[in-house]
Structure 1
Amino acid sequence: MTAEIPAPANVVRADRLEGVVALVTGGGNGIGAAVARRLGAGGARVVVADVDEDAAGRVAAEIGGAHVRCDVSLPADNQRAVAAAVDWYGRLDLAFLNAGVVSGCGLGDDFDLSRYRLAMGVNLDGVVFGVRAAIPALRAAGGGTIVATASMAGIVGIPNDPIYAANKHAVIGLVRSLGPELRPSGIKVQALCPSFADTAIIGDSKPLLEEMGFPILEVSAVADAFFRLLDSDGTGECWFVVPGRESEPFTFRRAPGPRV
């Protein structure tokens, strides 16, 4: 166990990372690894969690952090990852719930129940279980920040993977609902919503996207948006990240209320 670190202000800021204790799921590659590296460079103590323990270990070794194997679709693994951060560093200030997969199937003849369960388990259950695990530790630290990776597919539909769009829409609904609920506890909840980023998640689709002229986000641009998001005073926000635009919270229209 590492000696307990004096707690910073309960709101994590991009320019105040020294001593912050952060947990990053899906931190072994892609967006999670990029954010973990920047957190470590800023002086944060980072626990890199990933179902690929070797990848998590390599990133943790680069930044002088710790790592833990974590299948986010399992409640116990999320609890264990949070407990590891608290055991090693004394508390938790920031949870970046980033792990994600595509479904690889649709709702027609290509539907595959195991792929569906995997996509929902990682993309939605992983956020729900991650939030549940993180809240007590963040409250014990006097507050903190939760960031969930959603997607632009959570704001608009994507016909080529409706299951992915469904679970990302659910993550956005969760974040928007939790923001005001957790504010009194000093916990800020935000969603990061990138369009197609240059990570393993787009897989074989990358050549097709490039052929169609669809701009692909650099991972560094998504990491930039993450740190911009940290400095927001809002909560329950959904920050879009698309090529050529400065990231900011998406403005949802007010829903029509009942007429009297």
Structure 2
Amino acid sequence: MRPPTSAVPLTAGNGRVKEARKLSRRSVRAERRLFLADGPKAVEGALGADGCVVEVFATPTATGQYAGLASADVPWTLVDDKALAGLSDSVSPAGVVALCRFLDRPLADLLGSQERRLLAICADIRDPGNAGTVIRCADAAGADAVVFAGHSVDAYNPKTVRASVGSLFHLPLAVEPDPADAVRAAQAAGLVVLAADGAGEVDLERAGELLARPTAWLFGNEAWGLPAELAALADHRVRIPIHGRAESLNLSTAAALCLYASAREQRR
């Protein structure tokens, strides 16, 4: 195991701990382009992303428990339980938190770096749990990237990071202020943009030929979906059939169905 950078655990009053604790605020994260990844799964994912981790804070107990993580070639700093609790937003902290660099890349670079066959564009999604789950679903479906567009929740919100269960560190991420620009950029890169829309003219279960093409799925806000003007920019609007009496599907559930439908057709 790599020796910790400090043999004596730092307390909550330590300057480095205080500075790291400020990253609970979105404005500070955005200014410094740093965020905290809380828990062993998140830390493991962060350590697997080259150059992402700046430093790991861990209690002595967690350092022994997660010896495999502690062997990574990054600064590993011991902190006491109170200091760790201040860095974690979990009710029951696991004892290990990584200080990480932002991962997002400009959308133009992301689309131009290589051929992309499956993207998820999230427009104005607000719930951090949903956002993290969409990232996780995109990762599981083998998507090439995720785009957070418009006034979406911060991708580095602690709840989003935790809900992604490490997937935030597995696939490229872009943040685009204007959802319409994200749609146009995807189309310019040769992707068919499919808007997930309950009133769509295309039935997901009958869209096999369409889904086999390089695709960017466009998902809207949890409460009001996609604005009409944004949905109109898509090449097609696709509906998920509701066979029972449910009014609609949760955003992350809908995203999982759409992304997996594309993944299935693209792998035939």
TM over 0.5: no
TM range (shorter): 0.3 to 0.5
Q: Which has the larger radius of gyration?
A: 2
- When you count strand as a share of all residues, which structure comes out higher? 2
TM-score, scaled to structure 2: 0.33
TM-score, normalised with respect to structure 1:
0.34
